[in-house]
Amino acid sequence: MFKNFAQRAFKQAAIRGYASSAAETAASQELKKTALFDLHLQNGAQMVPYAGYSMPVKYASLGVLQSHLHTREKASIFDVSHMLQTRLTGKDRHDFIEKLCVGDIKNLPLGSGTLSVFTNEKGGIIDDTIISQHKDSLYIVSNAGCADKDLAHIRKHLQEFQQKGGDAELSIIDDHSLIAIQGPKAAEALQKLTDKDLRTLNFMTGQFLSIKGIECHVARSGYTGEDGFELSIPTPEITAITELLLQDPDVELAGLGARDSLRLEAGLCLYGNDLNEDITPVEAGLTWTIGKRRREEGGFLGAEHILPQIKGGVSQRRVGLVVQGAPARDHSEILNAEGEKIGEVTSGVPSPSLKKNIAMAYVKNGYHKAGTELSVKVRNRIQKAQVVKMPFVPANYFKA
């Protein structure tokens, strides 16, 4: 019964979730296409506007629900070429990037990456990003929907940094495309294409290695909670390598629909829904991204607002919810026992893995503890909800 309900809910969500984006994007600009656009069409993809690109939401071979479960059980390839890839060089690159983000980037081991956030002067989150330590540069991947904003922000502060004598340069990596292969069979599929023993590559580490004779940057990371890799591949080779991976019988293409439900089960934030410029890392439950040295030294934008929150607390907190009844979508009101609004849902889906409706939300401090009973207003109906710990589904990240 839940399966039929979830299939209907996913179909409705796909229509609702991308309809407004479609209208807005079509009205503002012509959609960009990734290098895999033709491959998507060949595989019966339903394309939708997303972050200024025409992107697949699902494919003919598998619906969103089936694609989600396939990723949890085997492996799926996601086109993430719309993401912004940049490189920061110069001897003062660490000093510069640490003015903009909260992470301890200087002390990242060579080949390691970390999730971090760019903050504004108020302590709000401009974007979330993954920053990796290379021998002579920093490799930065950030969200497509924030690309213009991120670049304007970075360039503004970079110009000021350079005018004061700082040595740092930013370049956009526009000759490589990005795919993610995710799921318990991902390593097995990728291993067939490289001589590198992938068992030596731990979660959140990466390096340049040869994939069928093509040098690619391969990072063991992703957005699903499963083991997997993100591959930055020279654009002329991206289709060929994707097709080679798809020759594995355990590998399928997956789109935005499955990507969203997978990341929510994994308790991972979507910028624009669960993070924005008025939410601080502490409120978002991302205090762990603020390195110990950074907590002591500060020096990043908004530090005077963020650091006191670590000890002094916050007025709202990000939580996970299990919701009875219909799925609670973003902006659904959360009520306490007295009927007072104490928060709002930011993301919500039927969980294919748990066969329950799950949601991410912000609630007033004091209502955030696991087991707290609350209510959610869904289409003017009051439904029971309970605060639970995240991730909803345990992570399966690889560590040797």
Q: Which two tokens stand for residue 57?
A: 């939401």
Tell me whether residue 243 is annotated as binding. no
Starting from the edge strand earliest in sequence, which strands make up the sheet with 214-219, in order? 206-211, 214-219, 228-234, 176-182, 75-79, 251-254
Write down the residue that tokens 């699902």 correspond to. 58
Q: Using CA atoms, how far apart are residues 191 and 367, in angstroms rounded to an integer?
A: 46
Q: Using CA atoms, how far apart are residues 177 and 228, in angstroms rounded to an integer?
A: 17
Instruction: Give the CA angle between residues 113, 228, 393 to the nearest 5°.
Output: 100
Residue among 267, 248, 198 nearest 228 (CA): 198
Element (H, E) at 260: helix 256-265
Bridge-partner residues for 77, per DSSP?
Answer: 181, 253
Q: What contacts 24+ positions apart, CB below 8 Å, involve 295-303?
A: 299/98, 299/99, 300/98, 300/99, 300/100, 300/101, 300/102, 300/119, 301/99, 301/100, 301/118, 301/119, 301/120, 301/121, 301/123, 302/119, 302/120, 302/121, 302/122, 302/123, 302/124, 303/123
DSSP secondary-structure letter at 220?
Answer: S
Cβ neighbours of residue 306 closer than 8 Å, sequence gap 6 or more: 102, 119, 123, 280, 281, 282, 290
Amino acid occupying residue 58: K
Per the annotation, where are the binding residues for substrate? 230
Per the annotation, where are the binding residues? 230
